[in-house]
Amino acid sequence: METDTCTTEVAAPVVSFASPSDGDIVASKSLVVSLNVSSTTTIKSVKINSVNAKLNGSTYDATLSSLPLGTQKITAVVTDANGKSTTTAIDVIVQ
């Protein structure tokens, strides 16, 4: 007797920046970055520019310090318990 196996593909986490927005001008070298994250499985890690973000209510937040002046790329990497990752990035202008 044959057994059919059904495998359901689990999607990677969905990530968007809550703040700041792409292209924002910020007047501080220290910046709190917030992400909206949704996933069908448990989130294993959230990093923003390699800084571990912490769950704060409904967003994941991290403080980036000592940002140089000028255009800076902020990159978020979210990994779920299945090892699926999503990477997204924005640019901000530090003045």
Helix/strand/coil for 54 = strand
For the sheet containing 70-80, what is the strand order? Answer: 25-26, 85-94, 70-80, 43-48, 51-52
Band (pLDDT 50/70/90 cuts) for residue 75 is very high
pLDDT at 1 over 60: no
The Cα–Cα gap between 60 and 75 comes to: 13
pLDDT for residue 28: 87
Calculate mean pLDDT across residues 48-56.
98
